[in-house]
Amino acid sequence: MASLNLQTAARMQSVLQEHIDRGRIPGAVALVSVGGRTELFAALGQQDPAAGTPMQPDSIFRIYSMTKPIVSLATLMLVEQGRLQLIDPVAKYLPQFAASNMRVAQDAGRQLVAVQRDATVHDLLRHTAGFTYEFLGDSAVHKQYGEVDIAARNRSNAEFCSVLASVPLENQPGSCWQYSRATDVLGALLEVVSGQSLGALLQQFILGPLGVKDTAFSVPASQQHRIAEPFALDPDSGKPVVMMDAREVPHFESGGGGLLSTAGDYTRFLQLMRSRGTLDGVRLASRKTIEWMTADHLGAIPANGDMLLPGHGFGLGFAVRTHAGLAPNAGSVGMYFWTGIGGTSFFVDPAEDLFAMLLTQAPGQRIFFRTLFRQLVYGALD
């Protein structure tokens, strides 16, 4: 069974602390579990650099897109109950997305063409529904996302979908993998299927049964002293760092990026994934559902952009490693992971019975540190 080498595990902390001392990130919480044992759990640096507050093991972070795997699991739990299927058209639940109502932008937005088929729930889960994210480029569709202020948090999930459906698709459904607003649409779809808000559904299906206390779409006043904050100015660009307001109760419960959480809370979710759907004697999803969720669902479907590295595919809410080589970092075939734009990341390696997580609030440095952390973790394995 794999384990962490104590000497190199200590180096992991010292390397992170060195970057904190150099002003690269304000602070971080790092966690590594091997064989079900927590072998590293360290809170380093500052929780709030403006106030000089030290980082705590239970500091609360904006986890952004680490919301997606949780919402994806809730979707598959509804599938297990027979309440929806992945082959269902999105329009069955959200009619504004019917192919007959949508168009795909082509020729730099100068031409709108018919949508060839309806996007499905499967497309939403694997990001092949034709949507995009406003920050991923400067195409005509990206610009329209900005013009309609697609990221506004003062709309309900249903209202968000109405606005999104008014903008053309970036790609034909099923034609390519494109990281996107698809999981936000999925959150609204789950509200229709379940008859309750996304927050209430997640609480009933996952957060409550896991016994977590600090994972939600906002932080209550009594716990706001625990919120981890970024530097006021990015250490590289010198520009102001803007993150979502963790204190505001949003109308938009973003299934793609709205949750806040702690290392302890998210560890409970990763423990559930490691044990393939059961934790502390409570079964939330079947073993086969977890295996299905963490398998590659792209196959020969091409990936747009550089977010999926060589040797990787995408499952139902996670990137999935498909080759031992090809990628410019270590890992095992079958490893799955995802990250948050605010600087949070995790990965689960079933072959090594390992999961690891790094939480920080440093949007501009996120790619460097999630890569560094993975190198440090694999470099510490015996």
Instruction: Tell me the catalytic residues.
Output: 65
Report helix, strand or coil for 282.
strand
- What does DSSP assign to residue 109? T
Could you tell me the end-to-end alpha-carbon distance of the chain, in angstroms, rounded to an integer? Answer: 9
- From CA 375, how far away is CA 75, in angstroms rounded? 32
C-alpha to C-alpha distance for 342 and 360, rounded to whole angstroms: 7
Give Cα separations from 39 to 10, 27, 122, 267 (angstroms): 11, 20, 36, 13
- Which of 339, 317, 321, 270 minimizes the C-alpha distance to 76? 317
d(CA 321, CA 152): 33
- Residue 276 CA to residue 169 CA, distance in Å, equals 35
Closest CA to 25 of 241, 337, 348: 241
Q: What is the DSSP string of 320-373?
A: EE--SSSSSS---TT-EEEEETTTEEEEEEGGGTEEEEEE---GGGHHHHHHHH
**Integer Cα distance of 119 and 320 in angstroms:** 22
The SS3 assignment for 120 reads strand
- Distance of alpha carbon 129 from alpha carbon 118, whole angstroms: 8
Report the half-sphere exposure of 47 (CA within 13 A, side-chain side): 17
Q: From 216, 210, 222, select the one nearest 258 (Cα to Cα).
A: 216
Query: Whose CA is closest to 16, among 8, 25, 6?
Result: 25
